[in-house]
Structure 1
Amino acid sequence: MSAPLITEDHKDRVLWRLNRPERRNAIDKELVDALHAACSEVEAEPRIVLVTGEGGTFAAGADIAQLRERRRDAALQGINSTIFDRIHRLPMPTIGLVDGYALGGGAELAYACDFRIGTPATKIGNPETGLGILAAAGASWRLLELVGEPLAKEILLAGRILGAEEAREVRLLNEIVEAEDLLAAGHRWADRIAAQAPLATRLTKTVMHAPHGAHPVIDDLAQAVLFETEEKHTRMTAFLEKRRKS
């Protein structure tokens, strides 16, 4: 039996491949467990994360066969919401490479990423109410922040599925590329992120995700940490020397 998640490690990034192509990468308990293990590695050694799906589909939702059998206690465990929140809070930015369907839990996984790159075949949305449930793994509140209340209600309450161009127009997708260029585009975005000071990037993400009541104290504390770093001094010195020579 093949692993539900394939990881490829690089110096400053890691690629996660959802590997259930025969089920269109439906998110089941085994895949959730594998994602938790992958998160533990990135939390211990912070790196940029790229997430993609095998077989021309990002993730066509949760595994309905498993979902049908879950009862109240399973819902209260927050199986999917816990892993997607953990991915959202990873120390370095995450990039979703969204080819084909990203529906239900697959869409919520994409929403949890910091950036999303799609292809012309991308279809993203939340049909949960059509199955008698709600999008309980982040979409009901995260989508409001991403696209605003009117469009979020169309997606969550009326089952609207967005195509690639529609998703880009509302910035749910940062970019659209051809499927064969998707991985290269993800690495290009990762290169841009990696060119920034890693700790500054990490703390900026932390500050951005902090609750409103934590500001401005958390901003000042994070800045105080960065002001003491050698990298801040080195980068600013290089900037000033370059400007002096120009």
Structure 2
Amino acid sequence: MTPPQGGTGDGSPSAARGVDADGRDSPGLEARAAGESSQVAIVVTENAVTVSFNNPARRNVFTPEVALSVVDALEVAASQRLPLVLRSAAPGMFVAGADLVSVRARTTNDSLDRSTGKVFDQLYDHPYPTVAVVDGFALGGGCELALACDFRISTPDARWGLPEVTLGLIPSAGGLSRLRSLVGESIAVDLTLTGRRISGAEAARIGLVQRLASAENLDEQLAALLHELSQADPMALRLAKGAMRVVGDQNRLVDAAAQALCIANPDAQARIEALLGK
């Protein structure tokens, strides 16, 4: 993790500092550096813990290594009672999807175990606010990652979608139920069964995205949101978010079971192989 540097509170790396939620020095933050990888940078500021995906050559594909870094960042954010921000280190992208090499290697038991899906659940269940900042592609696993967050900030030209059915798969990290709860069943059916991509502007129109900003104003929009959140009491934020989660999300298990059947289908394997070979 990037060592904290002394901060301005705007959520940018230059604002990083090593303090706990009560303003005391927090020497434990630097020990979390093991959570970083060559594909991820983790920065702690006074207003948020930011995970920056940094694998532009593969459009920030969501690998198991990246998933572990997100888990580590969630632990830091929970201990500091801070929001978590997910974004790309490089402009013009977010997360293009899951790592198809890893998906292709999954067994039926792997899918039923939901080891990868649990990362999305941990993000969804994080006690403090979570924010996805999307510029570019948020497809498949990348879209599900953003769906697991409380806030989604997007550029109008970003590309959102769940194209899994075109690969003989389905969204299996809770994305189906979360999409339906955000946009309603009719629109969720359209997006899921066609696998079509939509713009950030359309995503905002249907309620998938809460805040739109140009690429040049993304940082300003994020800073404004983090400032708003910083004015609230952390305990009140946690209780309010928890109250909205009381009903739970039993469909996560249904998603996993359906994906397990898809993984075992030879046609799905052939479709993934064809895409990887392009």
Structure-2-length-normalised TM-score: 0.73
In structure 2, the CA distance between the partners of 1:110 and 1:130, relative to structure 1 (3 Å rule), is same
The whole-number CA distance in structure 1 between the counterparts of 2:37 and 2:84 is 22
Shift of 1:120: 2.3
Higher helix share: 1
1:195 matched to 2:211? The reply is: no
1:210 matched to 2:237? The reply is: no
CA contact (8 A) 1:117 1:175 kept: yes
Deviations 1:62-99 (A, max 9, x none): 01122112121221221331001101111111111011
Shift of 1:3: 2.2
Partner AA of 1:11 in structure 2: E
Which residue in 2 is equivalent to 1:128?
A: 164
Which residue in 2 is equivalent to 1:29?
A: 64
CA contact (8 A) 2:47 2:230 kept: yes
Task: Count residues in correspondence.
Answer: 212
Alignment of 1:76-225 (within 5 A): 76-211=112-247
Which has more radius of gyration?
1
Shift of 1:134: 0.7
The whole-number CA distance in structure 2 between the counterparts of 1:24 and 1:79 is 23
The whole-number CA distance in structure 1 between the counterparts of 2:157 and 2:215 is 8
Shift of 1:18: 1.2
Shift of 1:12: 2.9
Moved more, 127-136 or 41-50: 41-50
CA contact (8 A) 2:78 2:127 kept: yes
Which residue in 2 is equivalent to 1:61?
A: 97
The whole-number CA distance in structure 2 between the counterparts of 1:103 and 1:46 is 29
Q: Secondary structure at the match of 2:198?
A: strand
CA contact (8 A) 1:80 1:105 kept: no
The whole-number CA distance in structure 2 between the counterparts of 1:186 and 1:138 is 25
Shift of 1:164: 1.4
Structure 2 unaligned residues grouped into runs of 5+: 1-35, 249-278
The whole-number CA distance in structure 2 between the counterparts of 1:193 and 1:60 is 28
Partner AA of 2:114 in structure 1: G
The whole-number CA distance in structure 2 between the counterparts of 1:162 and 1:195 is 34
Partner AA of 2:194 in structure 1: A
Q: Name which of 2, 7, 16 aligns with 2:42.
A: 7
CA contact (8 A) 1:4 1:34 kept: no
Structure-1-length-normalised TM-score: 0.82
Partner AA of 1:160 in structure 2: R
Aligned-residue CA RMSD (Å): 1.5
Q: Secondary structure at the match of 2:51?
A: strand
Moved more, 93-102 or 157-166: 157-166
The whole-number CA distance in structure 2 between the counterparts of 1:32 and 1:50 is 14
CA contact (8 A) 2:85 2:133 kept: yes
Moved more, 25-34 or 5-14: 5-14
The whole-number CA distance in structure 2 between the counterparts of 1:106 and 1:120 is 17
Q: Name which of 34, 40, 45 aligns with 2:75.
A: 40
Which residue in 2 is equivalent to 1:49?
A: 84
Deviations 1:212-243 (A, max 9, x none): 7xxxxxxxxxxxxxxxxxxxxxxxxxxxxxxx
- Percent identical among aligned pairs is 33
CA contact (8 A) 2:53 2:60 kept: yes
CA contact (8 A) 1:51 1:97 kept: yes
